[in-house]
Amino acid sequence: MILLLEKWQKLLSSSVTGNMVLVLVLSMLAFDVSCTQAFLENGNRIKSRTFLSPEFIMGPGSVESKTYYDIDFPRGHIALKSFNAEVVDQAGNPVPLFETYFHHWLVGKYHEHSTSDRNFSRNSGLCQGQILGQYFGLGSETRKTATDIPDPFGIEIGNPAEIPEGYQEKWYLDVHAIETRGVEDRLGCIECRCDLYNVTNDEDGNPIKPDYKGGLQCCYGETRCKLSRGFQGGKRSIFLRYTVKWIDWDSSVIPVEIFTLDVTDTGKRLHGSTGISPENGCQIEYAVESCTATNAAGNGCVDIKRNNLTMPTGGYVIYAVAHQHVGGIGSTLYGQVIFTLFMLTCSRFFCIFFTLFHIW
């Protein structure tokens, strides 16, 4: 299967050159069409449970960026049917997006040994190493965005044959949230503009390049976005509340695999390459150039990213959901059996992953 990915992004004004663009998720399910009439056997009932993430303590302008290991998650040999989430306060009330901006959350799987050795289990996508390996993930549009897998399909987890001896299967949650109560420039804060965070080094202590105007290097954990003069506000507790639905595994379930695709993927693949580097084709961020007079006259200052990706096997897409940040105009996926147009309102800094659930 060959997919053409296309992404539109409004170009930045000439006064903010070199701004970075972050990426978030498009999800799909592919399957053999002959299986569509299959049904779950033996009265296999869907089970559901709602969990709360660890507590995030957020003050005005603060940033939470952290990975939590061994989060609450269904155990055993099961098939996941849905994963839906909501950002709530300590009383369980939904938190307005204009107060706490959830840049992204990612949920993934790993195997842990008693010696604390962790082996991360990636999705089946085309990226490598530590990039875009999550099973589920969204961001600012989390509320009312459902991830439901129709019958007779399911994401198989907890298969004893796939868990190395001496290891346990566990799950992690990676979160990035920005508290915008009382900030001077809410849009600039959620775009992670470096001048509003007053940082000169990234999270690892490396100097930030002068032409890097905004992105994850500037809004990492424990940084603070500039507050309005005189604003007073207290800290509060925030949680990600997530509901997981599943069924016990049996022969009636058709397993699907998850694929994550990146529209900015350069196609580079080096043996053993990991992490975020030019040697790995998938990107976490990319730069959107400033709008020029030529752009304005030609395409209305719209930056378009296109990519052709070849899947390792064929199939049909049966489910998809897209994610963008403020400023994104739209995302289109073309394939042999699908044309899907996603229109979302989002940011000058945005992210795209394309996650597919696929049956072999």
Residue that wins the pLDDT comparison between 49 and 306: 49
Tell me the whole-structure pTM to 2 decimals: 0.80
| 324-333 core/surface letters (b: 16 or more CB in 10 A; e: else) | bbbbbbbbbb
* Residues in the chain, overall count: 360
pLDDT of residue 127: 81
How confident is the model over 209-238, as a mean pLDDT?
94
Q: What is the dihedral of CA 8, 27, 85, 223, to 10 degrees?
A: -50
Residue 236 has pLDDT above 90, yes or no: yes
Sorted by where each begins, the domain ranges of the chain are 2-358
pLDDT digits (tens, 9 = 90+) for 17-60: 332 222 223 334 443 333 333 344 445 689 999 999 999 999 99
Whether 221 contacts 64, CB under 8 Å: yes
How confident is the model over 83-90, as a mean pLDDT?
93
pLDDT mean across residues, the chain: 78
Task: Report how far residue 257's alpha carbon sits from residue 255's, in angstroms, rounded to the nearest whole number.
Answer: 7
Task: Report how far residue 155's alpha carbon sits from residue 122's, in angstroms, rounded to the nearest whole number.
Answer: 13
Q: Are strands 254-255 and 153-157 parallel, antiparallel or unpaired?
A: parallel
